[in-house]
Amino acid sequence: MTLTYRSFLTGLLVLLLALGDAQAQETWLGSSHGLLSIEAYSSTVTQLVVGKDGTLYAVGENPLGGPRLFKSTDKGESWTYLTPVNAAISQILIAADGALYVGTFYGGIYTSADKGATWTLVKTGLEKDSVSFLAEDVNGVLYGFCLGFPGTTPEQRIIKSTDKGATWTTAPQIPTEPKLVGNSIIEMNGELYANTIFGLWKSLDQGKTWQLAKQGELTLASLVKAPDGTLYENTYLNTSSAWVGGMMRSTDSGATWSAIGQSLPDKSATMLTVMADGTLYGISGVYGETTRIDQVYKSTDKGSTWTAIGMTGMRKSQIQSLLVTADGTVYIGEYQGGVQRLEIGTNINNGGDADRVFNWAEALHPEIFPRGPVTRIISGYSTRYYPVSDTYLGAKNNHLYVHDGKLLNLIDVGLLGDFLPKAQAAGF
């Protein structure tokens, strides 16, 4: 950091103190507490799940190898490597009784009854198969999508287990060549859905018989069922330049569908998640010059309208997985970005005082600190990063800091408590 730039940043914060009686601008803050970043020892996180006790599990691409499994018991602050026998993980399922099941790429299925401390390989002829899209129904029956080589050519099939994963059998197949795609096997309140290139199929008898629920050539990216029985789906067609698709809603078990999500950037949302109160979350975005830019969106009116939450300005913005816990905490897994956490309705580290000062700085100087930053925990700091100016605001031990995103040289601007009265007087 040059002396000129250092002096500029220091002077800027002094100016903020002097202009403390300025009025707050009426601009959107997103989540007032920002997005906390936690590196999960992985680059690309493709799945996030949570157990009843709050334990988090993440499937991620490790820099040292293929897909691996990680565990966190402190809301993502630290992670433990869990992968059994060095297997390449495709998906994890937490059963109702707390048992863990992981499908692997050409390594079969592993189970754990002690939260990943020990693992057992299921030896029922699946040891060399790829198993993914694991699901459990209300009766404890397990399902999965299996790709194997029973002969000389690969074969797709739906498998099921009625004895907690000890043995697996091939379930009756869909009346057409399955060619399962998207998230493939979905279980919702006793109804089993299978996604194929020919459309969406449904079974009401644990896969013994199937009926076509919705015909189409678009890939089903997400399908969820709300507590009131409403179905939501998102479909897409991956072309060379864009993803073409849309969102649909059904209130009659899939008999009829209506279009929703028109307010979303690309009129669709993937990774749909529905909460106990019916609130929907999903990922939507647009294509930039070289990559897709994603955001988290939320709907409280059954998908008719959507609002972006706390994500504007993300530096790493290709979201690969989404998890929303019962307490409203939002986790995302990013492409080459690890795991990030957005806590809605709670304060970030260093408390709401840092938030108020940060918001005040943004209102006074939006050209340097534009609204909607990514708020990250970096080496214990409560920090906001602003990609436009490549600048950070940070707080630790009641001190306010600013630093350049390139050289990371910190400047201690002063006590946070000295700035707080000015921020409060301005309405923050």
**How many other C-beta atoms are found inside a 10 Å radius of the C-beta of residue 388?**
12
**How many other C-beta atoms are found inside a 10 Å radius of the C-beta of residue 364?**
21
Q: Which class for 368: exposed (0-12), middle (13-18), buried (19 or more C-beta within 10 A)?
A: middle
Is the distance from CB of 340 to CB of 323 less than 8 angstroms? no
| Cα(319)–Cα(337) distance, integer angstroms | 9
Domain ranges of the chain: 3-31+348-425, 57-343
- Residue 38 carries which side chain, given as an amino acid letter? I
pLDDT tens digits, 35-44: 344 444 446 8
| Cα(32)–Cα(346) distance, integer angstroms | 9
For the chain, 428 residues long, give each residue's pLDDT as a single digit of tens: 443 455 555 555 554 444 444 333 222 222 222 334 444 444 688 899 999 999 999 888 765 566 788 888 888 777 788 877 667 888 899 999 999 999 988 888 999 999 999 999 987 778 888 888 888 888 898 988 888 776 677 777 888 899 999 888 887 777 655 566 555 677 777 788 877 766 778 888 887 888 887 776 566 667 888 888 898 988 766 554 455 568 889 998 778 888 998 888 878 888 899 998 899 999 887 766 666 778 888 899 999 999 877 644 344 468 888 999 888 888 888 777 677 777 553 333 344 677 778 888 888 777 777 765 455 545 455 677 777 777 778 777 677 778 765 545 567 777 777 788 888 787 77
- The fold adopted by the segment(s) 57-343 is Methylamine Dehydrogenase; Chain H (2.130.10)
Strand 155-161 to 231-238 pairing: unpaired
| Cα(234)–Cα(247) distance, integer angstroms | 4
Is the distance from CB of 409 to CB of 6 less than 8 angstroms? yes
Q: Which of 352, 347, 316, 348 is nearest to 334 (CA)?
A: 316
